[in-house]
Amino acid sequence: MISKADFIKRASQMGLAEGPTLSQQINSDWDVAARTADVLESQMPSIGILSESKRIGCFLSVCTHIDRLMESGQLTLDAAMLALLILQVTNKDFLKAYGLFMHRAPNIPWQEAINFPQMALEFFKAARGQ
């Protein structure tokens, strides 16, 4: 598991967040988000080698797992978003899956997106500017 200080440093270096602002936001959610990120990473499917379908499938699988945790009350929205950010910083495969999903989202038809997990649907809408 990545330490909070190392995460903040790496996230800032990647341009994902401002150090002091991020530090204040994560204090209350860090422990549960870090544990969740570890669980998600351990159960994350392979992205394959240059496989768009596996990368998108990986992202959707992680989002499905997050939805289940949120629905059962084990995870708040803030902790879920932080867990996803931790995965982006610590797991190159997830970063690739997330990046491809966000890149392809504007071209995915709404008829297909309606079946996405709720978390993925929120990213889908954000990628389309909605």
Which pLDDT tens digits describe the chain residue by residue (130 residues)?
Answer: 889 889 888 888 888 766 566 667 788 899 999 999 999 999 999 999 999 999 999 999 999 999 999 999 999 999 999 999 999 999 999 999 999 999 999 999 999 999 999 999 999 999 999 8
DSSP assignment of 31-65: HHHHHHHHHHHHHPPP-TTT-HHHHHHHHHHHHHH
Straight-line distance from the first to the last Cα atom of the chain, in angstroms, rounded to the nearest whole number: 34
- Could you give the CA distance from residue 68 to residue 26 in angstroms, rounded to a whole number? 22
